[in-house]
Amino acid sequence: MSKKTVFITGVTGSMGGAGMHELLRRRERFNLVTLARPSAANKLSLRELEQQPGVRIVWGDLICYEDVLACVTGADIVLHPAAMIAPAADHDPKGARAVNVGSMENILRAIKSQPDPDRIKLVNIGSVAMTGDRLYPIHVGRTGDPMKPSIYDAYACSKIDAEQLVAESGLKYWVSCRQTFIAVPDTLALMDPIMYHQPLQTCIEFCTAHDSGLLLANACEDDVPESFWRNFYNIGGGHSARLTFLELMER
């Protein structure tokens, strides 16, 4: 059986890194391609990955079409968790739009340039931030909730526009999964005013990077049902992973 080629973005981040880690465990079935900016920090953090068999790193930028095209060409699946998130997106809203929307424009253009774009599967990672604060009566998120990003949330606005591009792309195989709050060990080390943008009673649902990475890897497998595609989903940890922002601060 020939291997599939997976192009995965954002491997220096939480979800993308976890996805790459899980895919490496399945390398007998997948060849892996990723795109990373050639910064000194990225060169250092990806040094071991670059030496792994079956892995190709393209040093470039998601906002450069030629770099994206080099990764999409020959790919069977595109996993796109990379994004400029808050608080960086708050401080540079134009940059957030260039990355979050521009990268999707480039990915879609590159897929459509392939000889058979209908065979390529695209997994877009959105955000529950697209539906804004989780207050009553919309306390726990549902995929049918209206798009109502919180005021001044440049990240959420850019992810809404990116998801719309995917949904209206005309691709045969696409899916958009809206990520919730990934729990990382240094969550409360984020000393930025964004920590106090949330209403105290807004509902937060955690998810681990490991579980999100599993989702990315599992979406590449042959047993994914046809009904999975051309839909929207929320990624979360379930009832036991829910609490309010006030409860988080108290803990």
Q: For residue range 47-59, what is the model confidence (pLDDT) as tens digits?
A: 999 999 999 999 9
pLDDT over 80 (residue 247)? yes
Tokens of 245: 């922002």
Mean pLDDT score of the chain, rounded to an integer? 93
Residue type, 24: L
pLDDT for the residue numbered 135: 87
Tens digit of pLDDT for each residue in 182-222? 877 666 666 778 777 788 999 989 999 999 999 999 999 99
Give the containing element (helix H, strand E) for 98: helix 93-112
Cβ neighbours, 10 Å, residue 98: 15
> CA torsion sign, 8 to 11 to 17 to 20?
positive
